[in-house]
Amino acid sequence: MASLIRAQPSPSLPAADLRRSSPLIHRRPTSVRFPLRCKAVDSYGANSDDLYLLTGDTVPESALLSRTRLEDAINKNTTRLRIFSGTANPSLAQEISCYLGLELGKIKIKRFADGEIYVQLQESVRGCDVFLVQPTCPPANENLMELLVMIDACRRASAKTITAVIPYFGYARADRKTQGRESIAAKLVANLITESGADRVLACDLHSGQSMGYFDIPVDHVYGQPVILDYLASKGISSDDLVVVSPDVGGVARARAFAKKLSDAPLAIVDKRRHGHNVAEVMNLIGDVKGKVAIMVDDMIDTAGTISKGAALLHQEGAREVYACTTHAVFSPPAISRLSSGLFQEVIITNTIPLSEQNYFPQLTVLSVANLLAETIWRVHDDCSGDIEPFSTLGID
């Protein structure tokens, strides 16, 4: 963009008259193209004392624009933040863009007859910070492949940076080998996202913290628990009546951090033994829940076998009420029938995964993490720190 320079006296106009009419003039060299085009205004009808000339191929040299209108035009046309949504969770992406005061980027996504995915950006992203909102929720393979193709399209469109915003990271449970000859699919997916061209990943409540180490690019890991904590605080439950329960030994660190934020509530643990994938058997309870309101905390609910058997055990041990809190509601069958069977006073989830109408039931409460993700997106774009209390980690170690 051409720079602002002081006007020089013209032979046809006295210097004093020129200063009175316009002390600052934006002159464009004839060899430079001005990047903006705005409606020209008459220099004598402008309201500002300081006038600028906005020039372009279709704007006459004599047209002047007020300082305020010029700045507004520049801000509108030179924003470098773009948000695009895949087909997995467009409602969440829309909430994020609304929170930031932006419009979702225009993108064309379709499937060919043989199932192949086609992606085309409908607007320029050259030199922009692009954020692609796409959880890898069911159907996981379809949504993952769509994310990879979206990243590739942005890379080939010369985006400055590409951030994959993955509210729910599929394959996160395959993060280690528990038996011989198993794959570590979480590492494989991380490699795919990295090699496709992503510069950064923004994830919400990964199943395990070590998954961040599988990426060779920066990972911003945010937690959905602050949203749930705010909601529980609004219910006015006495802190003396609360007990936070981990549905398995692997979730103790998460439950302990949650309990610390929830008025340092006591902790209980459900000991379970898993005999197969999606099959769990509860053995016993560690801790006291008699006469208390039990808050069961987990990162996801899939078939709800673990958490429903844990809730049944809590009722047997004398718990007054049982709440289920989770960030990711995968809700594979028969999760809905188990959760709506009367074991839970309330099931609190977030909208990282879209929920179909038939999966709603009376005890279900859905909270939005759009503001959490939007604030993080802005901090990444603006090169600010994310270490602010509502958006920081819960101290899980």
10-residue mean pLDDT profile of the chain (397 residues): values are 41 42 38 36 37 40 44 55 97 96 96 97 96 97 98 98 97 91 96 97 92 94 94 91 93 93 94 68 86 96 93 95 97 96 97 95 97 94 64 41
| pLDDT value, residue 45 | 36
**Strand 129-133's sheet: what is its strand order?**
81-85, 129-133, 161-166, 200-204, 219-222
pLDDT at 75: 56
Global pTM value: 0.77
Vertex 150, ends 187 and 223: CA angle to 5°? 55
The rounded distance, in Å, linking the Cα atoms of 261 and 396 is: 11
Asked if 85 and 108 touch (Cβ cutoff 8 Å), the reply is: no
Which residue type, as a one-letter code, is found at position 324?
A: A
Q: Taking a C-beta distance cutoff of 8 angstroms, is the pair 263, 239 a contact?
A: yes
Q: What is the pLDDT of residue 6?
A: 39
Q: What is the pLDDT of residue 387?
A: 54
What was the pLDDT predicted at 276? 67
- DSSP 3-state assignment of 382? coil
Predicted local distance difference test score (pLDDT) of residue 384: 76
Tokens of 330: 């995968």
